[in-house]
Chains A and B, each alone.
Chain A
Amino acid sequence: MMEEFSQILLLFISTILVNNFILVRFLGICPFLGVSKQIETAFSMGLATTFVMTLTAGATWMINTYILEAFNLPFLRYVSFIIVIASLVQFVEMFIKKTSPVLYKALGIFLPLITTNCAIMGLALLIPLNNYSFIASIVFGFGAGVGFTLAIVLMAGLRENLEFGDVPEALQGVPITLMIAGILALSFMGFAGMIAM
Protein backbone atom coordinates (compact mmCIF):
# COMPACT_ATOMS: atom_id res chain seq x y z
CA MET A 1 0.00 0.00 0.00
CA MET A 2 2.74 2.41 1.04
CA GLU A 3 4.78 1.33 -1.97
CA GLU A 4 1.89 2.06 -4.30
CA PHE A 5 1.25 5.45 -2.75
CA SER A 6 4.84 6.56 -3.18
CA GLN A 7 4.76 5.38 -6.81
CA ILE A 8 1.69 7.54 -7.45
CA LEU A 9 3.27 10.52 -5.72
CA LEU A 10 6.42 10.15 -7.82
CA LEU A 11 4.32 9.94 -10.98
CA PHE A 12 2.51 13.14 -9.97
CA ILE A 13 5.70 15.11 -9.35
CA SER A 14 7.49 13.83 -12.42
CA THR A 15 4.49 14.71 -14.62
CA ILE A 16 4.56 18.28 -13.35
CA LEU A 17 8.30 18.97 -13.41
CA VAL A 18 10.42 16.34 -15.17
CA ASN A 19 8.06 15.54 -18.03
CA ASN A 20 6.25 18.86 -18.17
CA PHE A 21 3.66 18.59 -20.93
CA ILE A 22 4.48 21.89 -22.60
CA LEU A 23 8.19 22.40 -22.07
CA VAL A 24 9.44 18.81 -22.34
CA ARG A 25 6.82 16.90 -24.31
CA PHE A 26 5.74 19.76 -26.63
CA LEU A 27 2.03 19.22 -26.10
CA GLY A 28 -0.30 22.21 -25.97
CA ILE A 29 1.97 24.79 -27.58
CA CYS A 30 -0.93 26.63 -29.26
CA PRO A 31 -2.64 27.83 -26.05
CA PHE A 32 0.82 28.27 -24.48
CA LEU A 33 1.70 30.87 -27.12
CA GLY A 34 -1.82 32.20 -27.67
CA VAL A 35 -3.23 32.68 -24.16
CA SER A 36 -0.12 33.71 -22.22
CA LYS A 37 -0.27 37.50 -22.45
CA GLN A 38 -1.67 38.09 -18.96
CA ILE A 39 -1.22 36.10 -15.76
CA GLU A 40 -4.90 36.20 -14.93
CA THR A 41 -6.20 34.79 -18.20
CA ALA A 42 -3.35 32.30 -18.32
CA PHE A 43 -4.34 31.02 -14.90
CA SER A 44 -7.99 30.67 -15.93
CA MET A 45 -6.94 28.76 -19.02
CA GLY A 46 -4.76 26.49 -16.90
CA LEU A 47 -7.62 25.86 -14.50
CA ALA A 48 -10.04 24.95 -17.28
CA THR A 49 -7.46 22.69 -18.91
CA THR A 50 -6.62 20.92 -15.63
CA PHE A 51 -10.30 20.26 -15.04
CA VAL A 52 -10.88 18.81 -18.52
CA MET A 53 -7.61 16.84 -18.39
CA THR A 54 -8.50 15.06 -15.15
CA LEU A 55 -11.94 14.12 -16.49
CA THR A 56 -10.49 13.07 -19.86
CA ALA A 57 -7.95 10.79 -18.19
CA GLY A 58 -10.67 8.91 -16.34
CA ALA A 59 -13.12 8.77 -19.26
CA THR A 60 -10.65 7.63 -21.90
CA TRP A 61 -9.15 5.04 -19.54
CA MET A 62 -12.57 3.47 -19.11
CA ILE A 63 -13.39 3.59 -22.82
CA ASN A 64 -10.05 2.11 -23.72
CA THR A 65 -10.20 -0.70 -21.15
CA TYR A 66 -13.86 -1.68 -21.21
CA ILE A 67 -14.76 -1.03 -24.85
CA LEU A 68 -11.78 -0.78 -27.17
CA GLU A 69 -9.64 -3.50 -25.60
CA ALA A 70 -12.51 -5.70 -24.48
CA PHE A 71 -13.94 -5.86 -28.00
CA ASN A 72 -10.58 -5.63 -29.78
CA LEU A 73 -11.26 -2.37 -31.64
CA PRO A 74 -7.91 -0.51 -31.51
CA PHE A 75 -8.48 1.11 -34.90
CA LEU A 76 -11.37 3.11 -33.45
CA ARG A 77 -9.11 4.63 -30.79
CA TYR A 78 -8.47 8.06 -32.34
CA VAL A 79 -12.03 8.54 -33.53
CA SER A 80 -13.56 7.57 -30.19
CA PHE A 81 -11.07 9.58 -28.10
CA ILE A 82 -11.70 12.77 -30.03
CA ILE A 83 -15.47 12.30 -29.72
CA VAL A 84 -15.15 11.72 -25.98
CA ILE A 85 -13.01 14.83 -25.57
CA ALA A 86 -15.30 17.01 -27.68
CA SER A 87 -18.42 15.91 -25.84
CA LEU A 88 -16.71 16.18 -22.47
CA VAL A 89 -15.73 19.77 -23.18
CA GLN A 90 -19.27 20.54 -24.31
CA PHE A 91 -20.65 18.92 -21.17
CA VAL A 92 -18.27 20.79 -18.86
CA GLU A 93 -19.22 24.04 -20.56
CA MET A 94 -22.94 23.41 -20.04
CA PHE A 95 -22.41 22.29 -16.46
CA ILE A 96 -20.36 25.33 -15.47
CA LYS A 97 -22.80 27.67 -17.22
CA LYS A 98 -25.64 26.21 -15.14
CA THR A 99 -23.93 26.00 -11.76
CA SER A 100 -21.48 28.88 -11.57
CA PRO A 101 -21.96 31.88 -13.85
CA VAL A 102 -18.90 33.58 -12.32
CA LEU A 103 -16.60 30.70 -13.21
CA TYR A 104 -18.27 30.49 -16.61
CA LYS A 105 -17.44 34.11 -17.25
CA ALA A 106 -13.81 33.50 -16.34
CA LEU A 107 -13.39 30.26 -18.31
CA GLY A 108 -16.12 30.62 -20.92
CA ILE A 109 -14.18 31.60 -24.02
CA PHE A 110 -11.36 29.15 -23.35
CA LEU A 111 -13.46 26.01 -23.06
CA PRO A 112 -14.26 25.47 -26.77
CA LEU A 113 -10.57 26.01 -27.54
CA ILE A 114 -9.64 23.07 -25.34
CA THR A 115 -11.10 20.51 -27.78
CA THR A 116 -8.29 21.12 -30.26
CA ASN A 117 -5.62 21.42 -27.56
CA CYS A 118 -3.19 18.64 -28.36
CA ALA A 119 -2.25 18.29 -24.69
CA ILE A 120 -5.65 16.71 -24.02
CA MET A 121 -5.50 14.30 -26.95
CA GLY A 122 -1.84 13.57 -26.15
CA LEU A 123 -2.80 12.73 -22.58
CA ALA A 124 -5.48 10.33 -23.82
CA LEU A 125 -2.95 8.63 -26.12
CA LEU A 126 -0.16 8.42 -23.54
CA ILE A 127 -2.28 6.56 -20.96
CA PRO A 128 -2.73 3.31 -22.95
CA LEU A 129 0.89 3.63 -24.14
CA ASN A 130 2.15 3.53 -20.52
CA ASN A 131 -0.40 0.98 -19.23
CA TYR A 132 -1.42 3.13 -16.27
CA SER A 133 -4.02 1.88 -13.80
CA PHE A 134 -7.22 3.87 -13.29
CA ILE A 135 -5.89 5.74 -10.24
CA ALA A 136 -2.56 6.40 -11.92
CA SER A 137 -4.36 7.75 -15.01
CA ILE A 138 -6.35 10.23 -12.94
CA VAL A 139 -3.19 11.37 -11.14
CA PHE A 140 -1.36 11.59 -14.44
CA GLY A 141 -4.15 13.73 -15.90
CA PHE A 142 -4.26 16.02 -12.89
CA GLY A 143 -0.46 16.34 -12.79
CA ALA A 144 -0.37 17.14 -16.49
CA GLY A 145 -2.91 19.90 -15.90
CA VAL A 146 -0.94 21.36 -12.98
CA GLY A 147 2.26 21.26 -15.08
CA PHE A 148 0.43 22.98 -17.93
CA THR A 149 -0.83 25.70 -15.58
CA LEU A 150 2.63 26.18 -14.07
CA ALA A 151 4.27 26.62 -17.48
CA ILE A 152 1.63 28.93 -18.92
CA VAL A 153 1.54 31.15 -15.80
CA LEU A 154 5.35 31.41 -15.71
CA MET A 155 5.30 32.34 -19.37
CA ALA A 156 2.62 34.98 -18.84
CA GLY A 157 4.66 36.51 -16.02
CA LEU A 158 7.70 36.77 -18.26
CA ARG A 159 5.68 38.23 -21.11
CA GLU A 160 4.10 40.85 -18.88
CA ASN A 161 7.59 42.08 -18.04
CA LEU A 162 8.53 42.02 -21.70
CA GLU A 163 6.19 44.97 -22.25
CA PHE A 164 8.92 47.20 -20.83
CA GLY A 165 11.74 45.54 -22.76
CA ASP A 166 13.38 46.95 -25.88
CA VAL A 167 12.95 44.16 -28.43
CA PRO A 168 14.42 44.47 -31.97
CA GLU A 169 11.66 45.02 -34.50
CA ALA A 170 12.07 41.74 -36.40
CA LEU A 171 11.93 39.74 -33.18
CA GLN A 172 8.77 41.32 -31.79
CA GLY A 173 5.77 39.05 -31.22
CA VAL A 174 6.17 35.39 -32.01
CA PRO A 175 9.99 35.12 -32.32
CA ILE A 176 10.80 36.60 -28.91
CA THR A 177 8.02 34.55 -27.31
CA LEU A 178 9.51 31.37 -28.74
CA MET A 179 12.97 32.32 -27.49
CA ILE A 180 11.67 32.97 -23.97
CA ALA A 181 9.96 29.59 -24.11
CA GLY A 182 13.32 28.11 -25.13
CA ILE A 183 15.05 29.58 -22.09
CA LEU A 184 12.17 28.38 -19.89
CA ALA A 185 12.54 24.88 -21.37
CA LEU A 186 16.27 25.00 -20.63
CA SER A 187 15.62 25.84 -17.00
CA PHE A 188 13.15 22.97 -16.73
CA MET A 189 15.89 20.65 -17.91
CA GLY A 190 17.37 21.14 -14.47
CA PHE A 191 14.64 18.82 -13.18
CA ALA A 192 15.66 16.00 -15.53
CA GLY A 193 17.16 13.16 -13.57
CA MET A 194 15.53 14.35 -10.35
CA ILE A 195 13.27 11.30 -10.40
CA ALA A 196 14.28 8.04 -12.05
CA MET A 197 11.10 6.28 -13.15
Chain B
Amino acid sequence: MTEKAKSLFQIFKNGLWKENPVMVLVIGMCPTLAVTNTGANGFAMGIATAFVLISSEIVISIIKNLIPSNVRIPSFILIIATFVTFTDYFVRAFFPTIAESLSIFIPLIVVNCLILGRQEAFASKNPTHKAIADAVGMSVGFTWVLTLLGIIREFFGMGSIFGLQLLGEWYRPMVIMLLPGGAFLTLGLMVGIYKHLSREG
Protein backbone atom coordinates (compact mmCIF):
# COMPACT_ATOMS: atom_id res chain seq x y z
CA MET B 1 0.00 0.00 0.00
CA THR B 2 1.39 3.37 -0.97
CA GLU B 3 1.68 6.25 1.46
CA LYS B 4 -1.18 8.16 -0.17
CA ALA B 5 -3.62 5.28 -0.13
CA LYS B 6 -2.71 4.66 3.50
CA SER B 7 -3.59 8.21 4.54
CA LEU B 8 -6.89 8.01 2.64
CA PHE B 9 -7.72 4.77 4.41
CA GLN B 10 -6.87 6.42 7.71
CA ILE B 11 -9.40 9.21 7.00
CA PHE B 12 -12.00 6.65 6.01
CA LYS B 13 -11.45 4.57 9.15
CA ASN B 14 -11.82 7.60 11.39
CA GLY B 15 -15.55 7.83 10.79
CA LEU B 16 -16.18 4.16 11.49
CA TRP B 17 -15.14 4.02 15.11
CA LYS B 18 -12.78 6.64 16.54
CA GLU B 19 -14.81 9.68 15.46
CA ASN B 20 -18.13 8.01 14.86
CA PRO B 21 -20.68 10.76 14.17
CA VAL B 22 -23.35 9.37 16.52
CA MET B 23 -21.31 7.72 19.27
CA VAL B 24 -18.55 10.29 19.71
CA LEU B 25 -19.52 13.52 17.99
CA VAL B 26 -23.20 13.17 19.06
CA ILE B 27 -24.53 14.86 15.93
CA GLY B 28 -27.43 13.91 13.68
CA MET B 29 -29.41 12.64 16.65
CA CYS B 30 -32.93 13.42 15.41
CA PRO B 31 -33.03 10.89 12.53
CA THR B 32 -30.97 8.44 14.62
CA LEU B 33 -33.70 8.26 17.22
CA ALA B 34 -36.79 8.90 15.13
CA VAL B 35 -36.63 6.48 12.22
CA THR B 36 -34.87 3.47 13.75
CA ASN B 37 -37.96 1.51 14.77
CA THR B 38 -36.96 -1.23 12.29
CA GLY B 39 -33.61 -2.29 10.85
CA ALA B 40 -34.70 -1.57 7.29
CA ASN B 41 -35.79 1.99 8.12
CA GLY B 42 -32.50 2.71 9.88
CA PHE B 43 -30.56 1.38 6.90
CA ALA B 44 -32.63 3.39 4.40
CA MET B 45 -32.12 6.58 6.40
CA GLY B 46 -28.37 5.87 6.52
CA ILE B 47 -28.20 5.45 2.75
CA ALA B 48 -30.22 8.61 2.07
CA THR B 49 -27.95 10.61 4.38
CA ALA B 50 -24.86 9.00 2.83
CA PHE B 51 -25.90 10.09 -0.66
CA VAL B 52 -26.40 13.72 0.41
CA LEU B 53 -23.19 13.78 2.47
CA ILE B 54 -20.97 12.29 -0.26
CA SER B 55 -22.34 14.41 -3.11
CA SER B 56 -22.23 17.67 -1.20
CA GLU B 57 -18.71 17.01 0.10
CA ILE B 58 -17.56 16.39 -3.49
CA VAL B 59 -19.18 19.56 -4.83
CA ILE B 60 -18.03 21.75 -1.96
CA SER B 61 -14.44 20.49 -2.02
CA ILE B 62 -14.33 21.30 -5.75
CA ILE B 63 -15.75 24.82 -5.53
CA LYS B 64 -14.39 25.77 -2.09
CA ASN B 65 -12.07 28.44 -3.50
CA LEU B 66 -14.92 30.19 -5.30
CA ILE B 67 -17.03 30.72 -2.16
CA PRO B 68 -16.31 33.92 -0.20
CA SER B 69 -15.72 32.91 3.40
CA ASN B 70 -18.37 35.17 4.99
CA VAL B 71 -21.23 33.63 3.00
CA ARG B 72 -19.93 30.07 3.13
CA ILE B 73 -22.55 28.68 5.55
CA PRO B 74 -25.57 29.82 3.47
CA SER B 75 -23.85 28.53 0.33
CA PHE B 76 -23.24 25.14 1.94
CA ILE B 77 -26.86 24.93 3.06
CA LEU B 78 -28.11 25.74 -0.44
CA ILE B 79 -25.95 23.02 -2.00
CA ILE B 80 -27.13 20.54 0.63
CA ALA B 81 -30.78 21.54 0.15
CA THR B 82 -30.48 20.90 -3.59
CA PHE B 83 -29.22 17.36 -3.06
CA VAL B 84 -31.87 16.74 -0.41
CA THR B 85 -34.64 17.78 -2.80
CA PHE B 86 -33.18 15.39 -5.36
CA THR B 87 -33.04 12.53 -2.83
CA ASP B 88 -36.58 13.20 -1.62
CA TYR B 89 -38.06 13.08 -5.14
CA PHE B 90 -36.03 9.98 -5.98
CA VAL B 91 -37.13 8.06 -2.87
CA ARG B 92 -40.77 9.08 -3.30
CA ALA B 93 -40.75 7.98 -6.95
CA PHE B 94 -38.99 4.62 -6.59
CA PHE B 95 -39.53 3.57 -2.94
CA PRO B 96 -42.89 5.00 -1.87
CA THR B 97 -43.22 2.76 1.20
CA ILE B 98 -39.83 3.86 2.56
CA ALA B 99 -40.72 7.50 1.86
CA GLU B 100 -43.91 6.98 3.85
CA SER B 101 -42.20 5.55 6.92
CA LEU B 102 -39.37 8.10 6.96
CA SER B 103 -41.89 10.95 6.35
CA ILE B 104 -40.41 14.38 7.13
CA PHE B 105 -37.02 13.00 8.13
CA ILE B 106 -35.77 12.87 4.55
CA PRO B 107 -36.29 16.63 3.99
CA LEU B 108 -34.85 17.18 7.47
CA ILE B 109 -31.47 15.96 6.20
CA VAL B 110 -31.07 19.64 5.20
CA VAL B 111 -30.62 20.60 8.83
CA ASN B 112 -28.73 17.48 9.92
CA CYS B 113 -25.72 18.87 11.76
CA LEU B 114 -23.63 15.93 10.53
CA ILE B 115 -23.80 17.13 6.91
CA LEU B 116 -23.12 20.82 7.56
CA GLY B 117 -20.52 19.96 10.21
CA ARG B 118 -18.45 17.85 7.81
CA GLN B 119 -18.55 20.55 5.11
CA GLU B 120 -17.30 23.13 7.57
CA ALA B 121 -14.75 20.90 9.30
CA PHE B 122 -13.45 18.89 6.35
CA ALA B 123 -14.67 19.48 2.79
CA SER B 124 -13.97 23.22 2.83
CA LYS B 125 -10.33 22.64 3.81
CA ASN B 126 -9.27 19.50 1.96
CA PRO B 127 -8.82 18.29 -1.64
CA THR B 128 -11.58 16.26 -3.30
CA HIS B 129 -10.12 12.77 -2.92
CA LYS B 130 -9.68 13.25 0.84
CA ALA B 131 -13.19 14.70 1.10
CA ILE B 132 -14.60 11.59 -0.58
CA ALA B 133 -12.73 9.33 1.87
CA ASP B 134 -14.07 11.37 4.80
CA ALA B 135 -17.64 11.39 3.47
CA VAL B 136 -17.67 7.64 2.82
CA GLY B 137 -16.20 6.90 6.25
CA MET B 138 -18.67 9.14 8.06
CA SER B 139 -21.56 7.71 6.03
CA VAL B 140 -20.65 4.11 6.84
CA GLY B 141 -20.18 5.07 10.49
CA PHE B 142 -23.59 6.72 10.60
CA THR B 143 -25.32 3.90 8.71
CA TRP B 144 -24.00 1.08 10.89
CA VAL B 145 -25.15 2.76 14.08
CA LEU B 146 -28.62 3.43 12.66
CA THR B 147 -28.97 -0.09 11.28
CA LEU B 148 -27.79 -1.73 14.52
CA LEU B 149 -30.10 0.46 16.61
CA GLY B 150 -32.96 -0.41 14.25
CA ILE B 151 -32.20 -4.13 14.44
CA ILE B 152 -32.12 -4.13 18.26
CA ARG B 153 -35.38 -2.18 18.54
CA GLU B 154 -37.12 -4.31 15.92
CA PHE B 155 -35.93 -7.57 17.50
CA PHE B 156 -37.21 -6.73 20.98
CA GLY B 157 -40.20 -4.73 19.84
CA MET B 158 -41.57 -7.13 17.24
CA GLY B 159 -39.48 -10.29 17.47
CA SER B 160 -38.25 -9.94 13.89
CA ILE B 161 -35.15 -8.83 12.01
CA PHE B 162 -35.52 -6.97 8.69
CA GLY B 163 -39.16 -8.05 8.63
CA LEU B 164 -38.29 -11.75 9.07
CA GLN B 165 -40.24 -13.17 12.03
CA LEU B 166 -37.70 -14.97 14.25
CA LEU B 167 -39.47 -15.37 17.57
CA GLY B 168 -42.69 -17.35 17.69
CA GLU B 169 -46.07 -16.89 19.31
CA TRP B 170 -44.65 -17.37 22.81
CA TYR B 171 -42.73 -14.10 22.65
CA ARG B 172 -44.55 -11.12 24.09
CA PRO B 173 -43.17 -8.09 22.21
CA MET B 174 -41.77 -5.27 24.30
CA VAL B 175 -43.77 -2.45 22.75
CA ILE B 176 -41.72 0.15 24.59
CA MET B 177 -38.79 -0.54 22.26
CA LEU B 178 -40.78 0.85 19.34
CA LEU B 179 -41.85 3.95 21.26
CA PRO B 180 -39.80 7.13 21.76
CA GLY B 181 -38.73 6.09 25.27
CA GLY B 182 -37.20 2.85 23.97
CA ALA B 183 -35.21 4.74 21.36
CA PHE B 184 -33.58 6.96 23.99
CA LEU B 185 -32.88 4.06 26.37
CA THR B 186 -31.39 1.78 23.68
CA LEU B 187 -29.15 4.47 22.25
CA GLY B 188 -28.06 5.44 25.77
CA LEU B 189 -27.04 1.86 26.48
CA MET B 190 -25.30 1.56 23.10
CA VAL B 191 -23.22 4.70 23.69
CA GLY B 192 -22.39 3.42 27.18
CA ILE B 193 -21.17 0.09 25.82
CA TYR B 194 -19.23 1.90 23.11
CA LYS B 195 -17.50 4.09 25.69
CA HIS B 196 -16.65 1.07 27.78
CA LEU B 197 -15.20 -0.82 24.81
CA SER B 198 -13.12 2.05 23.47
CA ARG B 199 -11.67 2.74 26.91
CA GLU B 200 -10.51 -0.87 27.32
CA GLY B 201 -8.97 -0.98 23.82
Q: For B179, what are the chain A residues with a Cβ–Cβ distance below 8 Å?
A: 185-186, 189
What is the CB-to-nearest-CB distance from B92 to chain A, in angstroms, rounded to a whole number?
11
Given contacts A26-B183, A179-B188, contact A82 B110 (CB under 8 A): yes
**How distant is the Cα of A177 from the Cα of B184 in the complex, in angstroms?**
9
For residue B88, which residues in chain A have a CB less than 8 angstroms away from its CB? 78
Q: Which of B33, B74, B113 contacts A86 (CB 8 A)?
A: B74
Residues 100-131 of chain A: 1 if any B CB is under 8 Å from the residue's CB, otherwise 0? 00000000000000011110111001100100
Q: Which of A2-10, A27-35, A44-52, A91-99 lies at the interface with chain B?
A: A27-35
Interface residue from B30, B112, B199 paired with A170 (Cβ < 8 Å):
B199
Interface contact A185-B184, CB-CB below 8 Å: yes
The answer to whether A23 touches B180 (Cβ under 8 A) is yes
Contact A25 to B108, CB < 8 A, known contacts A78-B85, A174-B26, A189-B179:
no
Instruction: Determine the residue in chain A with the shortest Cβ distance to B195.
Output: A170
30 CB < 8 A contacts A-B:
A25-B34, A33-B26, A75-B85, A75-B89, A77-B85, A78-B88, A79-B81, A82-B77, A83-B74, A115-B111, A116-B113, A116-B116, A118-B112, A120-B111, A121-B110, A125-B104, A129-B104, A170-B192, A170-B193, A170-B196, A171-B188, A173-B195, A176-B188, A178-B185, A178-B188, A178-B191, A179-B185, A179-B189, A185-B180, A188-B180
| Proximity string of chain A (167-197) to chain B, C-beta cutoff 8 Å, 1 when within and 0 when not | 0001101111111011101101100000000
Q: Separation in Å of the A175 CB from the closest CB of chain B?
A: 4
Give the dominant DSSP class at B's interface. Answer: helix
Q: Residue B176 at the A interface, CB < 8 A?
A: yes
Docked pose: A116 CA to B113 CA in angstroms: 7
- Please, which residue of chain A has its CB at the minimum distance from the CB of B24? A174
A175/B189 in contact, CB under 8 A: yes
B interface, how many residues as a size bin? 35 or more
**Interface residues on chain A, number (Cβ under 8 Å):** 42
Q: Is B107 an interface residue (CB 8 A)?
A: yes
Q: List chain A residues, Cβ under 8 A from B82.
A: 79
B158 within 8 A of A: no
B29 contact from A33, A115, A121, Cβ within 8 A: A33
B187 interface residue, CB < 8 Å from A?
Answer: yes
Write out the residue numbers on chain B whose beta carbons fall within 8 Å of the beta carbon of A178. Answer: 184-185, 187-188, 191
Cross-chain contact A86 with B30 (CB below 8 angstroms): no
Q: What residues of B have a CB within 8 angstroms of the CB of A120 in the complex? A: 111
